[in-house]
A and B are shown apart, each in its own frame.
Chain A
Amino acid sequence: MTDLKLPFWAGGAALVLAATFFIRDAYIASLVKLCCIAAVTAVSLRLVMLMGEVNFATAAFVGIGAYTAGAAITILNWPFLLALLAAGVVAGLLSIVFGFVTLRAKGPYFMLIGFAFTEAVRILYSKSETLGGTSGMIGIFPPRALDGWMPTFIGGVSLLVIFALFVLEKSDFGKVLIAIRDNENVARTVGLNILFVKIACFAAASVAAGIAGSLHAIANNVISPGDFSFLVAAFALAYVKVGGEGHILGPLIGSVLLVVLGSYALGLGGDEHIFYGAAIVIAVLLLPQGITGLLTGKRTNSTVGN
């Protein structure tokens, strides 16, 4: 399967992981972790964009993953890796139920349902005493053995998840997603169960979002409902739009660029949100295909707006 570009991925992953070995500065380490988590979230968002939907519920599933991992580690004392896996599984299973109900809606309606779901789930955390209410959960620590290796670990897990979604996109299943975006009726007339395909895509994206959430939990050690508002999805959308949605590298480039810029802005005492807003405006006006579109010069189809 030549279209998977395995040497490219292996080389890129080796380079990134090797680079993490040399991180000694705590600030750089936290930046790397933020970039990885942002990238997984954005790639998850983009997977659903392949079938033409903007999935604001991404934010909810990041939160669900984070709280699952948090609860598994601090309340249930589960082994660390099992907690991460549980985060993906719980997010995936819940997304199947949510998707079964909501994926009959399309476009702005689906987007609004995701938005509402995210806010509803966030309120649920803050009302639950087990989950720490509005102050959230504390003490979500990775095992001692990972001390000093966190950027490498988070980078490795992120790359694995991103590569898995890339394989999915390049498979025949991925082609069906694009067919649903381009011409849903044709896909339906050749015997494809559109709702089933949409749920499968949504579930895969939500597993990734859940894992991103669990990484957030172990990277921060502390989570609170406020971390998982719809802004998580809005930022992810900015990463995808700035980086370009035509290729999976788009959300990667977008995440790294915007997280680094945003973090720099934070250091200046400014509000980093301004960067995100400006980045979206500039990207939409000047780079409709994002940075990757500029690099490849290829014509790609935009999801939003057609």
Chain B
Amino acid sequence: MQTTQAVLLRTKGLTRRFGGLLAVSNLDFEIRLSEILGLIGPNGAGKSTTFNLISGFYKPSAGELFVFGENCTGKSPLAISRLGLVRTFQHGSLMRSMTVSDNIMLGTMHGVKLRAKRRERVADTAEMLGLTPFLTEEAGNLPHGLQRLVSIGIAFAARPRLLCLDEPLTGLNQTEVANTLTVLQRIRDEFDCSILLVEHNMKAVMKVCDRIVVLHHGQHLATGTPAEIRANNKVVEAYLGHRNDK
């Protein structure tokens, strides 16, 4: 049933070498409409490289990348972002010296030309993320959990079709994690926006993702629903530890 769904992003044999190191090797995967796809793997598995490849920050050594049906192999980050793929960064994906409102406004700058409409978009986005009370605060002064939300807010304010989040839950407490997951589900359900989630918090990934892609040593190890991944022996061996831990 799921295979009939529209595909937003597809990679074919995506490969990236750094000197002698094969960071990502012959990777095939796809992101479908309105799904949250988890990209997981142990440290050094090639998650960040994959992330940089699909957002155009790295050029692939081999293989092809299709975003919204267009061949984007070797395209610039700007070209890819303008198609509607917006990413965040693992560290400091926000402007510390600017207010929360101005931060979120940045996401609207390209897509919304009228200043008044931009203000509306900022207000809607802040509301969605629960950032309304902090709009006039300087982003750098906010607690870490809220800063993470601001990063998502900048990206989501661009109203992407595919939102790629690089470890958005790192350093969050349980309440903040639960809150962020709810936000992600709302973004998926209310805006038909797909989300690629690179994350180490396994519990959260299992809870929120529709499908999961597992990388190991730069190679594709498995793809499936959280239940399938949990039951996959190869994955359990490589990554999740002993089967009975859970």
Chain A residues within 8 Å of B, Cβ to Cβ: 172, 175-176, 178-179, 182-183, 185-194, 300-301
- The smallest C-beta distance from B156 to any residue of chain A, in angstroms, reads 10
Q: Which residues of A contact B107 (CB under 8 A)?
A: 190
Give the chain A neighbours of B154 by CB distance below 8 A: 186, 190
A175-B105 CB under 8 A given contacts A189-B81, A189-B86, A190-B110: yes
The chain A residue sitting closest to B76, CB to CB, is A188
The 8 Å CB contact of A175, one of B86, B87, B94, B98, is B98
- Would you call B81 and A172 a contact (CB within 8 A)? no
Q: Knowing A172-B109, A191-B82, A191-B158 touch, does A186 contact B93 (C-beta < 8 A)?
A: yes
B171 within 8 A of A: no
User: Does B7 make an interface contact (CB < 8 A)?
Assistant: no
How many whole Å from B139's CB to the nearest CB in chain A? 10
The smallest C-beta distance from B90 to any residue of chain A, in angstroms, reads 11
Cross-interface CB contact of A186 among B78, B89, B105, cutoff 8 Å: B89
Instruction: Write the nearest CB–CB distance from A196 to chain B, whole angstroms.
Output: 10
Please name all residues of chain A whose beta carbon is closer than 8 Å to the beta carbon of B55 when the two chains form the complex. Answer: 189
Pairs A–B under 8 Å by Cβ, sample size 26: A172-B105, A172-B109, A172-B118, A175-B105, A175-B106, A176-B109, A178-B95, A178-B97, A179-B98, A179-B106, A183-B93, A185-B57, A185-B89, A186-B94, A188-B81, A189-B88, A189-B89, A189-B155, A190-B106, A190-B110, A190-B155, A190-B158, A193-B78, A194-B78, A300-B97, A301-B97
B residues with a Cβ closer than 8 A to A are 55, 57, 77-78, 81-82, 86-89, 92-98, 102, 105-107, 109-111, 115, 118, 154-155, 157-158
Contact present for A182 and B106 (CB under 8 Å): no
Q: Are B81 and A191 in contact (CB under 8 A)?
A: yes
Determine the residue in chain A with the shortest Cβ distance to B79.
A191
Query: How many angstroms from the CA of A176 to the CA of B107 in the assembled complex?
Result: 10
Known: A175-B102, A188-B81. 14 other contacts (CB 8 A): A176-B109, A178-B95, A185-B89, A186-B88, A186-B106, A188-B78, A189-B55, A189-B155, A190-B109, A191-B82, A191-B109, A191-B110, A192-B109, A194-B78
Contact assessment for A190 and B89 in the assembled complex, using a CB-CB cutoff below 8 Å: no
- The residue of chain A having its C-beta at the shortest distance from the C-beta of B141 within the complex is A299
Residue in A179, A194, A301 whose Cβ sees the most chain B Cβ within 10 Å: A179
Q: Is the CB of A182 within 8 A of B86?
A: no
- Nearest to A174 among chain B residues (CB) is B102
B111 partner residues in chain A, CB cutoff 8 A:
191
Q: Which residue of A lies closest to B99 (CB)?
A: A175
- Separation in Å of the B28 CB from the closest CB of chain A? 25
The distance from the CB of A28 to the nearest CB of chain B, in whole angstroms, is 39
CB-defined contacts of B102 to chain A, threshold 8 Å: 175
Q: Closest 6 CB pairs between A and B?
A: A191-B110, A182-B95, A190-B158, A191-B81, A190-B107, A301-B97
A185 to B, closest residue via Cβ: B89
* C-alpha gap A193/B94 in the complex (Å): 18
Q: How many angstroms between the C-alpha atoms of A61 and B2 in the bound complex? A: 61
Q: Which of A172, A176, A191 contacts B78 (CB 8 A)?
A: A191
Give the Cβ gap from B166 to chain A, nearest Cβ, in Å: 11
A residues near B98, Cβ cutoff 8 Å = 175, 178-179, 182
| Closest B residue, CB atoms, query A194 | B78
Give every chain B residue within 8 A of A187 (Cβ-Cβ): 106
Residues of A within 8 A of B94 (CB): 183, 186
Residues of chain A contacted by B77 (CB below 8 angstroms): 185, 188-189
B95 touches A183 (CB 8 A): yes
